[in-house]
């Protein structure tokens, strides 16, 4: 497996690693101010190394959040199926306290399209007095943890990801059912490699999460068992970091090498965040083959690479 090789940053950043395998807090930067190329390069390098980076005591609004995210690439629209606020097409407003929407499952953002985001920038607007943390997991170290026999299986496997919802498998409130129907009104399905080669570092990581429905060429039962086994390596505690939010916090994660989980332990209290996503490329497996869209046209969500 290729190992990330990083040159010393051009700019000294105050970086405090949060876990042995993932996560770092960066201090001494005002993300609302213009950033020079040296600072942008140093932040990108920190993102590649730590997978998710955090900033406290920021005062971003929609405009400055979008400006910051654009330093790292073109932006997607807010979401393939969920409408953005009226004033900004790139911002996804997520009001967990007033909405039946939940993200308390492990997932990588928007993997049901053929070009999932490169990364996501999230800021907190409202928070409960306790609870509402978010966990992130390093999918690269998860892959490294696999014994050789499972690694060989994962290297060859491809999985179908979809936003379709199995209503028969869950008892939903009317509001939750309405949200899920809206979320999956336009159906997307994409075939992705179970092991994705990172386009910048060459690292291999498990590319799974909550939108991975089944593995190609396996039965439903076999798929469920293999997906659960591989996913269990992602969520091992040693591969995770937990962030306790404060107002003004910003999280920026590499969507190509992580999964995350929003902990729902605040019982309908206020928790509101806004997310901006950076456009990514088509995932590539260890054999060089690229992901393929099966159903749904995502061209209105993410820019197409030249």
Name the residues annotated as catalytic.
107, 109, 260, 275
Cα distance between residue 171 and residue 97, in whole Å:
20
Task: Indicate if the alpha-carbon torsion angle 169, 172, 174, 179 is positive or negative.
Answer: negative
Contact 109, 117 (CB under 8 A): yes
Q: Which residues of 39-58 are buried (b: 16+ CB within 10 A; e: fewer)?
A: bebbbbbbbbbbbbbbbeeb
Q: Tokens 């000294």 label which residue? A: 12
Q: Tokens 């999932």 label which residue? A: 116
Contacts of 138 (CB under 8 A, 6+ apart): 21, 22, 51, 205, 239, 240, 257, 258
DSSP 19: S
Other Cβ atoms less than 10 A from the Cβ of 237: the count is: 10
**DSSP letter string, 49-91:** HHSEEEE-S----HHHHHHHHHTTSPBP-S-SSSPPPTT-TT-
Q: Enter the tokens of residue 42.
A: 């140093």
């Amino acid at each position: 497996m290729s190992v990330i090789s990083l040159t010393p940053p051009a700019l000294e950043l105050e970086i405090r690693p949060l876990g042995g395998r993932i996560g770092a807090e960066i201090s001494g930067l005002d993300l609302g101010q213009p950033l020079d190329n040296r600072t942008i390069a140093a932040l990108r390098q920190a993102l590649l190394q730590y997978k998710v980076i955090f900033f406290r005591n920021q005062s971003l609004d929609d405009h400055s959040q979008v400006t910051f995210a654009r330093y790292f690439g073109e932006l997607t629209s807010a979401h393939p199926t969920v409408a953005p606020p009226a004033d900004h097409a790139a911002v996804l407003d997520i009001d967990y306290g007033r909405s039946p929407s939940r993200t308390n499952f492990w997932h990588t953002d928007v993997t049901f399209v053929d070009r999932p985001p490169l990364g996501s920038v999230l800021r907190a607007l409202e928070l409960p007095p306790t609870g509402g943390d978010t966990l992130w997991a390093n999918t690269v170290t998860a892959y490294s943890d696999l014994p050789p026999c499972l690694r060989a299986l994962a290297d060859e496997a491809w999985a179908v990801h979809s936003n379709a919802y199995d209503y028969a498998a869950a008892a939903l409130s009317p509001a939750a059912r309405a949200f899920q129907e809206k979320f999956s009104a336009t159906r997307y399905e994409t075939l992705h490699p179970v092991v994705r080669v990172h386009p910048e570092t060459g690292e291999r990581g498990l590319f799974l999460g909550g939108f991975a429905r089944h593995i190609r060429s396996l039965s439903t039962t076999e798929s469920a068992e293999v997906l659960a086994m591989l996913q269990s390596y992602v969520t091992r505690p040693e591969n995770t970091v937990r962030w306790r939010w404060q107002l003004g916090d910003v999280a920026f994660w590499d969507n190509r090498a992580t999964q995350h989980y929003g902990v729902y332990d605040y019982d309908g209290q206020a928790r509101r965040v806004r997310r901006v996503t950076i456009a990514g490329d088509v995932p590539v497996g260890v054999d060089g083959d690229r992901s393929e869209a099966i159903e749904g046209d995502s061209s209105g969500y993410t820019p197409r690479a030249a």
